[in-house]
Structures are given as structure tokens and as C-alpha cells.
Structure 1
Amino acid sequence: MLIGSVFLWGLTVVPLKWTLETIQPFTLMFLRLLLASLFLLPFAWIRRRRSPERLAPIPWMRIAMLSFTGVAGYFWLNTYGISLTSGVNASIISATLPLFTLLLATFYLKEQIMLTQWMGLTLGIGGVLLITIQPQATGQHSLWGDFLVLASQLIWSVYVVQLKRPRGEEKISSEMFTALSFFLGSLMLLPFAAWEMWQHGLPTVSRKSLLSFLFLVCCCTMLAYLLWNKALETIAAAKAGTYLNAIPLFNVLTAILLLNERMSWRTVLGGIFVLAGVVWAERRKHPRSQVSMKMD
């Protein structure tokens, strides 16, 4: 299930770019989350009524908090950022997620962080700066877009860290949790979508954008999140997080093949730094050789 969700998320950039050709970013995010929740809610509700889960109260405030970070906040920043920058840049910058998760786990969960992990974090940040600070920006490159994508990884890591301390959401099924997260996330994005449609009018839909949108809703959103949340019921979040490292590789490959994007030497070198930093930060050395730095 982890491999399936990672593979689907790794195909997100291309259909997202194609859909953004005719649909504005906020409108796309709102419709994507709303339709995914409407598809899932009936199925999740029927299952809830037929299982012992029906006795467990729904932690609305907790799910709303998780929706704000892992759904509305993430989609708001990521989708708008991708609309302003290249798919290759967005894909490589997305690889910084494990580094942000490591950093937040240190301060929020008071986990120990080794010296090698600090070195990996520094290397990854250097790679991001190399990618984003281009001497000559092209039509596909935007510093603001790169920054928004980077911010989306930070807020997604907040979501991951929040899940490490469950407060009621584990008592309901992954289907119900996913459906409610999407629905609440869509409500949070509704004002932005309404303002956008008031400014630009209703979106025009082509066959290409419609098929891309349906793929985003059914596969990259609904199915991918279901697989991920279901897998987290039996696999530790730290172990599952390592699978996320494959997403940027899929996205870079599909962006080059299907969007005809190119990679400059700075992007290649920055990507190597980012991936090397992630690998270095996640290394597990023998306890005798570890140098830890606990943040109090």
C-alpha cells in the first residue's frame, strides 16, 4: 500500500500541470478535494454503521487541525507553487520533506538528532538554494513558486509529526478519516476558490484537462491517501516516511518525458545535494559512533 500511494503521488505533477492549463489553482484544489470527499463519504459512512467504529465519537477539532496542515495548507501551497514554477524544480524541492520532518521531530517531539543528521539537513538546504536561486530565471522558473513548494513540504511535515501523537483519529477508520479530512479541507479552500471564480469566471474544460483532473481526484488524491492512511495503521510513520523519497524521482522523470522540461546543471547539482542530504540524514550508524544532539 505504501508503494502504491508513493507511485501515484509520483505521477501528480504532470496531470496537475495539464489541468492548470484551463483551471485556476484555487478552483482546482477546491474541486479536487470536494469531489474526492463526496466519492469517499458514502462508502466510509456505510462501513462505519456496520462496524464497532460507530460507537467511537468523531474528533472533529483534531481532524480539522490535521486537515488545515496536511490537506488545505499543503494543497494551497503546493498547487499554487507548481503553477508558478517548473515541474522539475517542484519535484526536486519536494524531496526535502524528510529533512523538515526530522527537524520538527527534534523540536516538537524532543527526539534525538545525530550530528550526521544535522550535516544531511545542511546539505539538503544547500541543494535547495542552488536550485531556487538561479542567475537567469526562465519562463518556467519562479523563485516565488519554488518557495511555495518548499513551504508546502514544511507544512506537510507538521502534519506527519502531528500524526505521531494520535488524539482520537486512530479510533475511526482510515476511509472515514480521509473523507472527512478532504471535506473539511475543501471548506477551508472554498473562500479562495470563490474569489478566484469571481475574478476569472468559471473555468473552461478541455478533454485533456478533464481527464487529468479525474486522474488527480480518483488516483492521486482519493486512492493514494487511502492507501497511505491504511498503511500507517500497521507501519511506523518513521519507516513509512522513507518511502516518500521515491516521489521526487517519479515526478522528475515524468516531467522530463511528458512535459519536455529540461534540467540545468544547477538543478542537477542541487538535486544531488538534496537527495544526498536526505540519505545522509537517514543513515543509521552503530551506537558507539553516534554523536547525538538533544534539543531541550
Structure 2
Amino acid sequence: MGLQSKQKVGIYFLMLLVPLFWGGSFGAAKHVVTEISPITAATLQFGPASLILLLIVTMSSQWKIDVLKKQWFGLLMMALTGILGYNAFFFIALGYTSAINGSLIMATTPVFVTFGAALFLNETWNRRLGFGLLLSLIGVFLVIIKGSLETLVSLTFNVGDLLFVAGLICWVVHGLIGKVVMKESPPLFTTTITTFLGSFFFAIWSLFEGGWGDVPNMSGQSWIEMLFLIICSTVVAFFLWNKGIHQIGASKSSLYMNLVPINAIWIALLLYGSGITWQQIVGMLMVIFGVYVATTSHKIRFIHLKKKKANNTIA
């Protein structure tokens, strides 16, 4: 297996960390915003994260000034949509609606990203991708409604849900723009610039919000959760997300978003003693299998066969 093939296979496994960290961010962020205001919380998350990324890029000599000059508008749009827009709606929405409703809305991300990528970016659409998308989406619904139609019927939508819809739109646009920008801009550099720009806009916004006076009074739990949001949910997750879009495309990367509510539930089960039903377990398995079906292909599975056939031909 060539180096490029190994890297492509490896990113499928590394991408599993993205929904793991973003799944955990639902509970962490919802608790943090009970102690400090939403935009201040977002600034506290992305400010330090951007400094860490800037340090990494500087120490590894990965500054791409020529790329910045050429792709500045695309990078700015990624920052405005994926960092500022999505996370502003995310933090504010958690003050009005439940994590269940938010998970339900964000679970539709792969549908819109996949169709958007097929329409505007000429990404491949096939039955395998469609089947995996449908299967994982059904699994998400099973997990969220706990296999009960009564839960689905009783779901009510409010201003927080509309904010999540706005966040969803921002995230879809962010992914599609990222696919274009990262044809020339490396994932680490892209993550660094967009995170820095997003944190800059958040910092200005937070000055008008006037919530910094509450930060010194944050509990130890909130500081631990904020550290998780900075390192895991921002630095690591956003880098891997951009790397995934760069290597396997926006459509396949977006399917990992289906795993976010799955991880949110088992993390709540493990850390907060929440219950789980057998229907949710079935739904989780459907999501995992659906993502596997859509993100793997005959090309990956038959690499060894092709290599063996080539060797036999040479012999």
C-alpha cells in the first residue's frame, strides 16, 4: 500500500475523534453558559485555541503567506461561517433549547453538505453513499427519539431551534467553501487562520456583551470543560475536520456529524449517569454501519488484491 493510500485510510480513523470531541462539547458548553455569557464563552474557547495554533504553525515553519494573499477571502468566509457564525448560534441556542433538539437539527448536516457538494463542487454521488447517508440518518433519529414515536411527536421547537438551523446553514457553507479553499491551503494553516480570525471577531463582540466580569467566578468544573473545548473541540477537532475535507471530500467528512449525537448520549451515560434504551443502541449501530458504508469503497478494500495482481503480472 502506497504512502498516499495509507494516509487516506488513516484519516477515516482519525476523523472519529471529531464527533467524539464535538459530542462532548454539547454538555460542556451547555454547563459553561450557565456561568458566563455565550459570546464570552466562545471568545474564551477560540482565543487561546488560536494562540496555540499560531504557535504550532510558527514552530513548524508552516506559514503560507502566498496562500494567504491568494485565498484571503475564502479563509475569511470560512472564519465568518464556521467559527463565528456556527459557534455564536451554537452557544446562544443552548440557552433556549435542549441538546436533543440541537442534535436532531445538526444531524441533518450530511444531507445538505452532500447535496451541496454534488451540486456545486462536482463531488461523486452514488448509491453506496446515498445508502450510507440514509442508514446513518435513520439511526440518528432512533437514538434521539429513543425508539418512541411519542418522543418525536412531543418535540417542540422554539427560538433556540431556529438558531440551531441558522448554525446548520453556516456549517454547511463553511464545509463547501473549505473544500475549495483547501485545494491550495493546507489544513493546519487553514484551521489556524480561520480560528484566529473567528476569535478576533468574538473578542470584539464580547466587549459589547459585557460578560467578562463573570469569568473569575467560574467553577472548577467549568474551567475543566473550557480546557476540553479549547484543546479537543477546537484545536484537534477543527484541524482533523479540515484535514478530512481536504483528503476525502466534504460529503464523506460530513457523515461523521451523524456520530455527534451518538457520542453526546454515551458521554452523558458515562459521566452523568443518564439512561439508555435498546432502541438507542440499535440506532447507534446503524449510524456506525452507515458511516462505514458511505466512507469506505471498493478501491480501499481491494488495494491488496490489486497490488497482488500487479505483482503476479510482473512475475
Matched-pair contact (CA < 8 Å) for 1:133–1:143: no
Paired residue for 1:210? 223
Alignment of 1:175-254 (within 5 A): 175-197=188-210, 201-203=213-215, 204-254=217-267
Q: Does 1:45 align with 2:58?
A: yes
Paired residue for 1:82? 94
1:257 CA displacement: 5.3
1:240 CA displacement: 2.2
Paired residue for 1:288? none
Matched-pair contact (CA < 8 Å) for 1:13–1:255: no
Match of 2:74 among 62, 70, 76: 62
The whole-number CA distance in structure 2 between the counterparts of 1:135 and 1:242 is 27
Q: How many residues align?
A: 265
Alignment of 1:82-101 (within 5 A): 82-101=94-113
1:114 CA displacement: 8.8
Alignment of 1:13-28 (within 5 A): 13-28=26-41
Identity between Structure 1 and Structure 2 (%): 27
1:181 CA displacement: 0.6
Paired residue for 1:287? none
Output the amino acid matched with 2:177.
Answer: Q
Alignment of 1:262-277 (within 5 A): none
Output the amino acid matched with 1:250.
Answer: N
The whole-number CA distance in structure 2 between the counterparts of 1:243 and 1:135 is 27
CA distances 1:227-269 after superposition (whole Å, capped 9, x unpaired): 2223334323322222222112111333455456789xxxx8x
Output the amino acid matched with 1:146.
Answer: D
Matched-pair contact (CA < 8 Å) for 1:98–1:242: yes
CA distances 1:125-176 after superposition (whole Å, capped 9, x unpaired): xx79x99997686xxxx6111221222122101111122323xx44343222
Higher relative contact order (CA 8 A, sep 6+): 1
Structure number with higher helix proportion:
2
The whole-number CA distance in structure 2 between the counterparts of 1:244 and 1:21 is 25
1:3 CA displacement: 1.4
1:61 CA displacement: 2.0
Matched-pair contact (CA < 8 Å) for 2:178–2:242: no
The whole-number CA distance in structure 1 between the counterparts of 2:46 and 2:208 is 17
The whole-number CA distance in structure 2 between the counterparts of 1:144 and 1:134 is 18
The whole-number CA distance in structure 1 between the counterparts of 2:150 and 2:176 is 27
Matched-pair contact (CA < 8 Å) for 1:21–1:209: no
Paired residue for 2:175? 160
The whole-number CA distance in structure 2 between the counterparts of 1:131 and 1:218 is 38
The whole-number CA distance in structure 1 between the counterparts of 2:126 and 2:170 is 23
1:110 CA displacement: 6.8
Matched-pair contact (CA < 8 Å) for 2:18–2:240: yes
1:5 CA displacement: 2.0
RMSD, aligned α-carbons: 3.9
Paired residue for 1:71? 83
Match of 2:160 among 141, 145, 153: 145
Matched-pair contact (CA < 8 Å) for 1:33–1:182: yes
Q: Does 1:4 align with 2:55?
A: no
Q: Unmatched 5+ residue regions in structure 2?
A: 1-13, 296-315
Matched-pair contact (CA < 8 Å) for 1:6–1:246: yes
The whole-number CA distance in structure 1 between the counterparts of 2:151 and 2:78 is 29
Distance 1:133 1:258, change over 3 A: same
The whole-number CA distance in structure 1 between the counterparts of 2:246 and 2:231 is 22
Q: Unmatched 5+ residue regions in structure 1?
A: 284-296
TM-score, length of structure 1 as denominator length: 0.72
The whole-number CA distance in structure 1 between the counterparts of 2:188 and 2:172 is 21
The whole-number CA distance in structure 1 between the counterparts of 2:122 and 2:160 is 32
The whole-number CA distance in structure 1 between the counterparts of 2:42 and 2:201 is 11
The whole-number CA distance in structure 2 between the counterparts of 1:243 and 1:155 is 17
Matched-pair contact (CA < 8 Å) for 1:48–1:54: no
Distance 1:45 1:170, change over 3 A: farther
Output the amino acid matched with 1:162.
Answer: I
1:4 CA displacement: 1.8
The whole-number CA distance in structure 2 between the counterparts of 1:84 and 1:257 is 25
